[in-house]
Copies of this chain bind each other. A is one copy, B any other.
C-alpha cells in the first residue's frame, strides 16, 4: 500500500500539552497537524501546521478542522459532541462522539462499566439521605458533568453535609479505603486489537487532588498487575474505544481493584511512556486512530513522572527556578508545555526520571520537587 506525503492529516480539538505531545509524534512521522484551540499559539499550535483559533464548542470551527483532516481526535473531554455527530464528520472522529458522551457523564460512564461487568465502587444515581444511609458515611459526592483534577468531587462526612453541596447534577459513591491509586494506559485499534502498558501508581497532592507523581511500574504483585491490565482492556473493549485510554483504578485495602474513571485520550499517568517505553502513548494514540498497527508497550526502564504546577501566587510570565540543578540529576527529562502564562496549580510541564532502580528514581523525584519550581 502506498501513501502520499504527508501520509495522514491529523486534526486535534484542544491545543494543550496532550495535543502538543501528540503533535510532536505526528511531526516526527511527517504527518500534517491541525489544532483547534481558543488561545493563539497554544502549546500544540506552536508546532502544528495550522491552528484554528476558536472555542471547542464552535460547530463551524469543528467542522472546518475535521473536514481538513483525515482523522480527528481531541485532548480534552469538554467538546461539542453534537457537532461531531454530523454524518460527514463522525466517521473521522476517534474516539467516537457517542463514546465521548458516555465519558462526559460520570454517572452514565459508571453505569455502562457496571452493566458490562467491570468492578466499580458501589454508587447510587442520586444525592439523598437515603443514598447516604445505604452507602454509609463518609460517602463521596460526584458531579455528573465537568469535573477534572479533583474538581466536582466532595466527601460527605455526615447527613448535614448534604445541604451544603453544589447545586449540580450529581450522584453518590461509597468511600473506598484506598491502598493505592493505579492507572493503566490501554490502546485499542480500529480493528479491535488492544494492548496495555505496565500498571502505574498515581500519587496525588493531598490538598488539591491533582496528580503529583506517577511511579512506573506500580509496586504491586504480578498477579494484581495482570488483573488490572485485564480489567483496563475489558473497559476499553466494552466502550468500543479507538485510541488511547487511561483507566484509573483504586486498589482497596482488601486487595480488590475498582475502576474509578476513564479518560478517552492520552493521560498524565502515561507521560512516562515517552522516555521509558518502546512506543509512547502519543505515538500509540496516532497509530490507533490512523488504523496503523499498534506498537510495543514494553517498559525499557523504570520511571517516575513529576508534574510541574504553577506555585501558589504565581501569575504572569513563567519563571523556572532550579533548572540547572534539576538537569544535573542523571536520568532527568524536562518538559515545559509552552504556556505563556502561569497560574497557581496550572500544569506547566513535567519531569520524567528514568533509573534502572525505581526506588532511586523515587528519591530523585523527591529532590526534583524540592529544587524545581515554576513561579512568575
Contact = CB atoms under 8 A, between A and B. Distances in A.
B27 A375 contact: no
Contacts of A335: 28-30
Contacts of A324: 1, 292-293
B300 A1 contact: no
A141 to B, nearest CB: 38
Contact of A24 (B24, B49, B278): B24
Contacts of A319: 2-5
B3 A328 contact: no
A278 to B, nearest CB: 6
Contact of A47 (B5, B27, B301, B330): B27
B30 A349 contact: yes
B332 A7 contact: no
A375 B2 contact: yes
Interface in A260-315: 275, 278-279, 283, 287, 292-293, 295-296, 300-301
A246 to B, nearest CB: 21
A296 to B, nearest CB: 4
Contacts of A4: 317-319
Given A4-B319, A319-B4, A323-B3, A300 B24 contact: no
A159 interface: no
Contacts of A296: 330-331
Given A2-B319, A278-B331, A330-B278, A354 B300 contact: yes
A46 interface: yes
A220 interface: no
Nearest to A342: B5
Contacts of A47: 27, 47
Interface in A349-376: 349, 354, 375
Nearest to A7: B320
Task: Assign chain A's interface to a size class.
Answer: 35 or more
Interface string A47-65: 1010000000000000000
B300 A30 contact: no
A321 interface: yes
Interface in A21-76: 24, 27-30, 46-47, 49
A334 interface: yes
A297 to B, nearest CB: 10
A204 interface: no
A302 to B, nearest CB: 11
A136 interface: no
Contacts of A321: 1-2
Contact of A336 (B30, B278, B340): B30
Contacts of A331: 278, 296
Nearest to A28: B335
A345 interface: no
Given A1-B321, A287-B327, A319-B5, A334 B29 contact: yes
Contacts of A279: 333
Contacts of A24: 24, 27-28
A282 B329 CA distance: 18
Interface of A: 1-7, 24, 27-30, 46-47, 49, 275, 278-279, 283, 287, 292-293, 295-296, 300-301, 317-324, 327-328, 330-338, 340, 349, 354, 375
23 contacts: A1-B323, A3-B320, A3-B323, A4-B319, A5-B317, A5-B319, A5-B320, A6-B338, A7-B320, A24-B27, A24-B28, A27-B46, A29-B336, A30-B336, A30-B349, A278-B330, A278-B331, A293-B327, A293-B328, A295-B327, A295-B330, A296-B330, A300-B300
